[in-house]
Chain A
Amino acid sequence: MFSPNTKFLVVDDFATMRKIVKKVLDELGYKNVVEAVDGKNALDLMNEHHSKNEPIQFVISDWNMPNMLGIDLLKNCRADDKFKTIPFMLVTAESEQTQIIDAAKAGVSEYVIKPFNAATLKTKIERVYQKVSAAAPTAKAG
């Protein structure tokens, strides 16, 4: 699994969902969590942390948010050399096939459908870790 020091960014316009995801991450041993209220806020925070040489290492984002949707945040990340390989998980109540395909085309690492439980999120994070390890076996996040 990812190192316990891995820095997560949880993006959701609803504080309750950020709290739920943070609680699950905490249960999984991840304490280093930054929060953003929408995609635009997330990009600002990612750039800020990158410029301080303390980069965000894993993004968990809602899809349906004001100002910038999660899918647009993902596209922005994949178009930016600084963030194009960052593990990116979309957590959303939208589970239509077309949206899942759009997310896959945009380069999502994993897709979690709400409602979910801690075991589901853990499994998805493990799957992202396997993908990251397979792509770059010597460069593990954290």
Chain B
Amino acid sequence: MGAPKINQNHPFMNREVIINLSNEMSNVLKMMAELEADFQKPFVSLDWRSPKEISVLLSLDTPNYKGTVCFHFDKKVAQKIIENMTGSAVDENSPDILDGVGEVSNMFYGAAKTKLNDIGFDLKISMPKPLWTKDLPEVIESHISMVVPLQIDGKDCFVEIIVF
């Protein structure tokens, strides 16, 4: 069986979506946490599962299309982001980790959404849902997705765009 087929005309598979998400992630991480993000080549997958401990889901909805963007964080990276943002120590297993990555993902999405809506997307407002990756709903893990690997502070993280 070859690589899963994806509708190349699907608006969420547009390179602008990936470019804007990547750019805004870089900007937010730099300004709020003084961290650099190094993006790698995206790939398409069916049934891909994040190997990282923490995930944040945001709906990616327009009037005609539905999807989800999922930010997957290494636990140590999440800890570093939050400690740099707040200036205080946080335990890597604390619920504060989920709260912090939820907020930072909200910034990634909000900034990218503004840019994408400026070029004709009609993305709606979305509430971030941070959770431990082991608690991800099954429906998220059984759809075709585009996965963008990146490194933050030398550790792997992922952006996943899931289309329904």
Contact = CB atoms under 8 A, between A and B. Distances in A.
Contact of B125 (A17, A64, A115, A116): A64
B88 interface: yes
A15 B99 contact: yes
Contacts of A116: 31
A16 B96 contact: yes
Contacts of A16: 82, 85-86, 96, 99-100, 102-104
Nearest to A120: B31
A94 B110 contact: yes
Interface in A94-119: 94-96, 114-117
Nearest to A116: B31
A17 B28 CA distance: 13
Contacts of B88: 19
Nearest to A98: B117
> In the complex, which range does the number of interface residues on chain A fall in?
10 to 19
A140 interface: no
A117 B106 CA distance: 17
Interface string B19-52: 0000000011001100000000000000000000
Most chain B CB neighbours (cut-off 10 Å) among A92, A93, A95, A114: A93
Given A16-B99, A66-B127, A95 B85 contact: no
Interface string A1-42: 000000000001011110110010000000000000000000
B107 interface: yes
Nearest to B104: A16
A82 B102 CA distance: 34
B87 interface: yes
B114 interface: yes
Nearest to B32: A115
Interface of A: 12, 14-17, 19-20, 23, 64, 66, 92-96, 114-117
